[in-house]
Amino acid sequence: MGTVFDITLLMATLRSATPLILAALGGIFAERSGVVNIALEGKMLTGAFAAVVVSYYTGNPWLGVLAAIMTGAIMAFIFAVVSIKYRANQVVSGVAINMLAAGLTVFMMHVFFGTAGTSPAVTRLPNIGPFTPLVYLAPLLVIVSFVVLYRTPWGLRIRAVGEHPKAAATVGINVIYIRYACVVLSGMLAGVAGAHLSIGTLSVFVRDMTAGRGFIALAAMIFGKWHPLGALAASLLFGFSEALQMRLQGGGIPSQLIQAVPYVFTMVVLAGFVGRATAPAALGEPFRKE
């Protein structure tokens, strides 16, 4: 057991948990404002791709992170317009964004790199100690998110909009603005999560490289009861399952079984705990001005 559970596994857990933490925080802001955020996967994927493209052409990975943030925000804005302005079904809209991202990144891989599988290697983010700065940033953003949501007037407005939007509107809160802002913020955070995968953990973009992590982040958000600290704990738990899966490879267990560990773990957790979590009361309900 000592050869499995060691400091290397702990470090791998932190790296694996980082994109989940960032995306889950984005999901919290969107869903606390009343918008179902199934589209985290697509925002992460396009963010990962944008980070590689910009890093490839500029040689500057920090510009790649900025591009990931902007791309995630653009995808989120598209989702917000469809879901908030036109009041389309938020789950269907989110699935459409995920499908758009999957197809768009493959097409743009052909445009920029002439390939459909893996991009050329690019300059990745530098390490500070054992980790890139994004690994240190993730827990700091958890603290910031907690303070914003539970210690500021803006956070109170977000939670009010997600619970009772009509009541919030009667006291002068701009429900539409709050929801747009929170959804776009979720896209920015998901974009950073994608950048961590492509130019933080690796130095390339691989087709569909998010591999369901957006949905795992969504599960972490639900398991954490839409609370930043709860999402942090859940993300670390899911990150540990992913790190353990990587550690067990090559140990004589069928690789297909090992690779399924994080996803099976996610389903078990959701089946056991999702019924105990209470979502914001107005989650998924379109808002109509009276």
Domain boundaries, the chain: 7-122+134-276
Domain 7-122+134-276, classified CATH 1.10.3470, yes or no: yes
17-31, 37-51, 234-248: lowest mean pLDDT where?
234-248
- Quick one: which of 157, 156, 154, 235 has its CA closest to 193? 235
Q: Give 192: exposed, middle or buried? Use CB within 10 Å, 0-12, 13-18, 19+.
A: buried
For 187-206, how does the pLDDT look when each residue is reduced to its tens digit (9 = 90+)? 999 999 999 999 999 999 99
Phi/psi of residue 281, nearest 5 degrees: -60, -35
CA distance 270 to 123: 37
Reported as a pLDDT band with limits 50, 70 and 90, residue 39 is very high
- Tell me: pLDDT of 251 over 70: no
Residues 6+ apart with CB under 8 A from 155: 147, 148, 149
Cβ atoms of residues 219 and 21 within 8 Å: no
Identify the pLDDT of residue 264. 76
Identify the pLDDT of residue 220. 92
What is the 8-class DSSP label of residue 145? H
- Quick one: which of 207, 224, 203, 215 has its CA closest to 274? 224
Give the tokens for residue 288. Answer: 């109509």
What does pTM read for this prediction? 0.92
